[in-house]
Amino acid sequence: MKTQQLIGYGAMIRNLAVITFSLLAAIATQPTFASAQSVRVGNAAYGDWRTDAPGVMRKITPADMPAPLATPTTASRSKVIPRPAGAKLKTMPGFTVTAFVTGMTGARVLRTAPNGDIFLALSRPEGKIMTIRAGADMSSPKVETFATGLRDAYGIAFYPPGPDPKWVYVGEFGKVVRFPYRNGDLTASGAPQTVVSDLATGGNHWTRDVAFSPDGKTMYVAVGSASNVAADMGPRPANFAAFEKSHSPGSAWDREEWRANVLTYTPEGKNKRVFASGVRNCSGLAVQPGTGTVYCATNERDLLGDNLPPDYVTDVKQGAFYGWPWYYIGDHVDARPGGGPRPDLADKVTVPDVLLQPHSAPLGMAFNPGGQFLPDWKGDAFVALHGSWNRALRTGYKIIRVPFKDGKPTGEYQDFVIGFVANSQDVWGRPVDVTFAKDGSLLFSDDGNGVVYRVAYKLE
Amino acid sequence: MDAPLIALTLAAAAMCVPSAGAAAAGSVAPKTRLCASCHGGAGVPSDHTVPIIWGQQPAYLQKQLNDYRNGDRDSQIMSSIAESLSDRDLSQITAQFGSAKWPAPSEAKLPAAPVAIATCQACHSANLAGGVSPSGVAPRLAGQFSAYLVDTMNAYADGERANSTAMTALMQSLSPPDRTKIADYLAVLR
């Protein structure tokens, strides 16, 4: 698990060509890279925090899934402790991780404004939006308060898309609000307007992420389920055909109505529609640059055993059904939901693109616009895994890279930043969201100890 | 590396619950094993932000599990677990935990009682062991972990926990230092 440093190689290769550059990575990283070259598959892909290592690649497929309760279900709540003396995060050779901003209790969603300012949602106890401005080299970050008095402040999106937004949208408890904004504003210049006021509240899954299509016509809002698997859901609504038509096939009802969905509205909050259903908890939305395809980082269900079911990252297709609560990862039946079985949906479940170690809890994701990390990594997604509770030995608590090829995920992913797990009980950080700063470095938030970290690539 | 976890799991399996009759304990044992992994195999959680539930008022435990189940109280972990319990499981489990002996009390010296403690006693009973009150069955506070009590009082005050209107109003009337004083006192009360 030892991480190699590039120190010492930097001067040697400073003037070498790009070709040599990637060769250098191979030289400098040899032990880690050896494991990276072989992708962990099958049972080996599951693993736990003890076998995480920067550079490790994994690929989990539906065929690798065990039967429900092949292992007993376990509760292993992590206790967040301050960073132990000497504890360090580990990343891949050539990269450095440093604490960028501290003291950000409740740090959740991170977004980069078009002018390079960083927006950060502090969700709880009081919902706030903070702004962070740093130098061109990301030095000397200064934090300002953009807005306070929010409740469960989470998703942040700039509108209209492009270089000159006029509004900052924020998803919070029961609603989406927007603040007037001009490039460079570090504090809100006016009171928020409520754009959407009918988002579901209560129960589990309070995060509400917000994103816009590149043409600015569609606002996506992700609303997670109220429950684990809708065990208390009652009989189907009367006139079920009409319900399915108005909510999209595969949507659940009762207190799950308009939940486990990705919803769409106009930017003015009109024309509410279900864009996709059966997405248990899409905690992080990201729109792929170039294609405008919407992706979700999704938390799957609990209490089926250590290695079931995988969480996932997927492109979200309009009208698609991703299984919850009746099915998981394709047509695998879950018998726990109330309201009766749904054989009619068995052949309508879309299998997600990238399956993650079960219970990892992917929360936020961002696409790498390029500019600093390895050239091959441009267009790859990076995802923050908040970490498991429903597993004997922890998974998650790390940042992963999800490689894309020709605009599509390959299905593999790579451990990129690890090291928050101190022992079988304690952790000293819980990653929530990622964003790429203007200089191409990666920032990620930790709501365990209220820190924003920066991962930079440097040759020396 | 995992010795503590393994030990915990074994302890959980062996003694996870206060047996209220072997037959009854057997039927919900797989479920109470889950409880024990956080709330302690012998009734003492290793993480002091997790409450002691052995010897807690059973009607209080029952209400909390119901609130987790129906969404009136929010916790990723507890909501999923409560949802997996049938009504019968729920009564049985809460009766078992409720009838267990409150774990070994703190040996620390009792500080002077904070003035505001009288307000707590109005519902949580004179000895702070909980019981029937005007706003439902109040939980035992005496001997509960200070860290858990502070978190709970703050959560009521902030609105993060909203399943008792009486507690929300009361906690908002106390300053954070007052809440800490009360918690520190309650934690060593026997």
Query: Across chain B, what does the average pLDDT equal?
Result: 86
pLDDT computed for residue A308 by the predictor? 98
Residue pLDDT, tens place only, A147-182: 999 999 999 999 999 999 999 999 999 999 999 999
CB-CB: which of B38, B69, B72 is closest to A77? B38
Taking alpha carbons only, the member of A375, A392, A313, A311 closest to residue A69 is A392
Which of B35, B66, B83 to substitute to test the interface with A, most A CBs within 10 Å? B83
Cβ A393–B159 below 8 Å, yes or no?
A: no
The answer to whether the CB of A384 falls within 8 A of the CB of A399 is yes
How far is the alpha carbon of A404 from chain B, nearest alpha carbon, in Å?
A: 31
pLDDT of residue B107: 81
A281 in reach of chain B (CB within 8 A): no
Closest-CA residue of A relative to B36 is A75
Above pLDDT 70, what percent of chain A?
92
Assign B33 a pLDDT band (cuts: 50, 70, 90): confident
Helix ranges (H only) for A137-281 are 240-247
Instruction: Quote the pLDDT of residue B18.
Output: 52
- In this predicted structure, the answer to whether residue A15 has a pLDDT above a threshold of 60 is no
CA distance B38 to B53: 10
CB-CB neighbors (< 8 A) of A79 in chain B: 47, 49
Q: How many CA atoms lie within 13 A of A329 on its CB side?
A: 24
Q: Is the CB of residue A151 less than 8 Å away from at least one CB of chain B? A: yes
Query: Tens of pLDDT along A85-101?
Result: 999 999 999 999 999 99
Maximum pairwise Cα distance, chain A: 73
What pLDDT band is residue B2 in, cutting at 50, 70 and 90?
A: very low
Span A292-320, mean pLDDT? 98
The DSSP H or E segment spanning B176 is: helix B176-188
Residues of B within 8 A of A303 (CB-CB) are: 80-81, 84
Return the pLDDT at B30: 76
Nearest CA distance, A426 vs chain B (angstrom): 9
Give dist(CA A396, CA A415) in Å, integer. Answer: 10
Contacts of A206 in chain B (CB under 8 A): 74
Least confident of A25-29, A284-288, A389-393, B87-91: A25-29
| pLDDT at position A199 over 80 | yes
Q: Is the pLDDT of residue B29 over 90?
A: no
B2: nearest CB among A125, A336, A424: A424
- Better-predicted residue by pLDDT, B13 or A258: A258
Q: Is A303 on the interface with B (CB under 8 A)?
A: yes
**Yes or no, beta carbons of A77 and B50 under 8 Å apart:** yes
What's the pLDDT score for residue A179?
Answer: 98
Contact between residue B58 and residue B64 where contact means Cβ atoms under 8 Å apart = no
- A261 neighbors A223 (Cβ within 8 angstroms): yes
Of the two residues A122 and A1, the one the predictor is more confident about is A122
* Cα of B124 to nearest chain A Cα, Å: 26
Asked if A74 is an interface residue toward chain B (Cβ–Cβ < 8 A), one would say: yes
Interchain pair A73, B4: CB under 8 A: no
Q: Is A125 on the interface with B (CB under 8 A)?
A: yes
A175-180 and B131-133 beta bridge pairing = unpaired
In chain A, residues with a C-beta closer than 8 Å to the C-beta of B87 are none
pLDDT above 80: residue B11: no
CA dist B17 and B54 (Å) reads: 8
**Tokens read off for A46:** 């599951």
> pLDDT digits over B76-94, tens only?
899 999 999 999 999 999 9
B76 contacts B114 by C-beta, under 8 angstroms? no
A432 has pLDDT over 90: yes
| Subunit contact B71:A389, Cβ cutoff 8 A | no
Query: Using 50, 70 and 90 to split pLDDT, how confident is the model at B27?
Result: low
pLDDT value of residue A27: 33
Contact A204 B80 (CB under 8 A): yes
pLDDT given at position B108: 85
CB contact under 8 Å between B80 and A228, yes or no, is yes
ipTM of the complex as predicted: 0.85
Q: Which of chain B's residues have a Cβ under 8 Å away from the Cβ of A338?
A: none
d(CA A239, CA A225): 23
CB contact under 8 A, A204 and B76: yes
B103 within 8 A of B43, measured Cβ to Cβ: yes
Whether residue A267 is preceded by a cis peptide bond, meaning omega within 30 degrees of 0, is: no
Give B130-159 pLDDT, tens digit per residue: 999 988 899 999 999 999 999 999 999 998
Instruction: Out of A202, A206, A424, name the one closest to residue B1 (CB).
Output: A424
Task: Read off the pLDDT band of A349 (50, 70, 90).
Answer: very high
State whether residue A242 sits within 8 Å of chain B by CB.
no
Q: Is A75 on the interface with B (CB under 8 A)?
A: yes
Q: Which of A72-76, A350-354, B7-11, B48-52 has the lowest mean pLDDT?
A: B7-11
In the predicted structure, residue A350 carries a pLDDT above the cut 70: yes
Give residues with Cβ within 8 angstroms of A39, minimum separation 6: A45, A57, A58, A59, A412
Give chain A's mean pLDDT: 92
